[in-house]
Structure 1
Amino acid sequence: MSEAFDCAKCGESLYGRKYIQTDGGPHCVPCYDNTFANTCAECQQLIGHDSRELFYEDRHFHEGCFRCCRCQRSLADEPFTCQDSELLCNDCYCSAFSSQCSACGETVMPGSRKLEYGGQTWHEHCFLCSGCEQPLGSHSFVPDKGGHYCVPCYENKFAPRCARCSKTLTQGGVTYRDQPWHRECLLCTGCQTPLAGQQFTSRDDDPYCVDCYGELFAPKCSSCKRPITGGT
């Protein structure tokens, strides 16, 4: 008499039937699936022994159930992202949650280098100076009238220029006859003394310190020959 060969779960004979061997003994297929198979997180059905099973963050899926919750694309062999427990393919994730580049209109992909300013986002290579059109990257820039300028371009385009040397004034400066001057450029026409911060006067639009103006243009006392100025 042959030895009994029965399912360890239901006790039915396994002769001539498909079975699966476990540490607890042989099991018929229905008993094996009911005892050991995981439940699919998507369809809530058992994942049978002959099904390809996918596992992600303590959740089990049939291969066909592991898909993007928006476009239903299979994620079995695709990169994906989990957002609020929902599985999303990269295209759907980028469309829903990524920023659009303000210059080219394309999606700024997660993990790519980007720049943000004033509530807008750019690819790093799309954030260009409005003057020379070179990437600004991490360099200093100046926003003006909807554009963004590197410092040299901004100074060349917008910064005031000294009435004497015509170079840009990047800081400081003085005003003479409604024109900007470098402090070091506003000099007495006679002795070349800097006039910024001291009293001076002008003749024929040329500035003079008080001493030079008196010596050159003020009337002289007929007795002492010294210049007669307003303070004399």
Structure 2
Amino acid sequence: MASSATKELDDLMTSLSHFKLNDTSQSSRETACVKPQKPPKQPSAGPNNQLDSMLGSLQCDMNKQGVNTTAKGHCSACNKPIVGQVVTALGKAWHPEHFTCNHCNQELGTKDFFERDGQPYCETDYHSIFSPRCAYCNRSILDKCVTALDKTWHPEHFFCTQCGQQFDEEGFHERDGKPYCQQDYFELFAPKCAGCNRPITKNYISALNNKWHPDCFICMDCRQPFKEGSFFDHEGQPYCEIHYHAKRGSLCTGCHKPISGCCITAMFKKYHPEHFVCSFCLKQLNKGSFKEHNDKPYCHGCFEKLFR
């Protein structure tokens, strides 16, 4: 078959061309079958001349059988003429065995290949050398790619560092170069409310050297918000005025209001002076002179009438 013969010729010429010491011109190969009748000087039977003779004879025989042995250009790799099978790629011609991966030298033939800076690469080496790598598994990314935190990731490998869940429409938060979902980020890194110890994610109140959710900054006793933002500090906790004084024992036993001025202490209790009165006649007990009965103060007159 002509095609088989062409392939055999190409293979033979390529094999023989590796042993030639000097290239011969295309015109000399095309006319190699025309032998001079009486050359002025018989050439020496060196290796190059022997190869030229063999190649010339083979070309003549192929031409007689109707097989075109005209060179199809010069191989981009070895720069020798191509007769027979040829690979055309990257705008150049190659011997099939010379069209190889620039990295591993594997023959590419009819395989898929990739180009980089004018050089061919097999698929494996191209992705290994040039494709972006996943920041999680360090493998080449061949399809879809996520770019975040100045790194590239397989989409399935871009997930929360803490819980391992992929991110939803809320996106992600970054800490020390690592991605976190919103819930874990706030749980791990957001300041905690001094009232409920939960993360503070929005507005907050700064008081008593702590941060508070606005709804958590209330009186620790009555759980009511502070009027006009005024509060009292007792052992690092906020209180309204009434419960602050109650904690400190400075509420008047008579009116249950804070004592801010003069104070009378009696029966382990405190009173405004005007509220320390006889429990029967309600007269103010002057100078603290009183009689006690059932934990109640009485003036001397009422005490004598009631209990003597």
Runs of 4+ in structure 1 off by over 6 angstroms are: 210-215, 220-225
Cα deviation, 1:174-231, whole Å, max 9, x if unaligned, reads 1333332101221245582356x83332346553456987984244797999xxxxxx
TM-score (norm 2): 0.53
Residue 143 (1) aligns with residue 174 (2) = yes
The one-letter amino acid of 2:76's match is A
Q: Please say if residues 173 and 182 of structure 1, whose CA atoms lie closer than 8 Å, have aligned partners that are also in contact.
A: yes
Residue 44 (1) aligns with residue 79 (2) = yes
| Residue 265 of structure 2: aligned partner | none
The one-letter amino acid of 1:156's match is E
SS at match of 2:73: coil
The one-letter amino acid of 1:18's match is Q
- Match among 258, 268, 289 for residue 217 of structure 1: 258
Cα separation, partners in 2 of 1:97 and 1:86, compared to 1, 3 Å: same
- Match among 202, 205, 211 for residue 233 of structure 2: 202
Aligned ranges for residues 14-33 of structure 1 at < 5 Å? 17-19=64-66, 29-30=68-69, 33=70
Cα separation, partners in 2 of 1:134 and 1:202, compared to 1, 3 Å: same
Residue 96 (1) aligns with residue 143 (2) = no
| Residue 279 of structure 2: aligned partner | none
Cα deviation, 1:51-100, whole Å, max 9, x if unaligned, reads 22222242222221211122111111322111110111122222322233
The one-letter amino acid of 2:86's match is E
Cα separation, partners in 2 of 1:120 and 1:206, compared to 1, 3 Å: closer
The one-letter amino acid of 1:124's match is P
TM-score (norm 1): 0.67
Larger radius of gyration: 2
SS at match of 2:232: strand
Unaligned runs of 5+ in 2: 1-29, 35-60, 246-255, 263-271, 276-308
Unaligned runs of 5+ in 1: 1-8, 21-28, 226-232
| Residue 187 of structure 1: aligned partner | 218
SS at match of 2:94: strand
The one-letter amino acid of 1:192's match is Q
Q: Please say if residues 184 and 194 of structure 1, whose CA atoms lie closer than 8 Å, have aligned partners that are also in contact.
A: no
Which structure has more helix as a fraction of its residues?
2
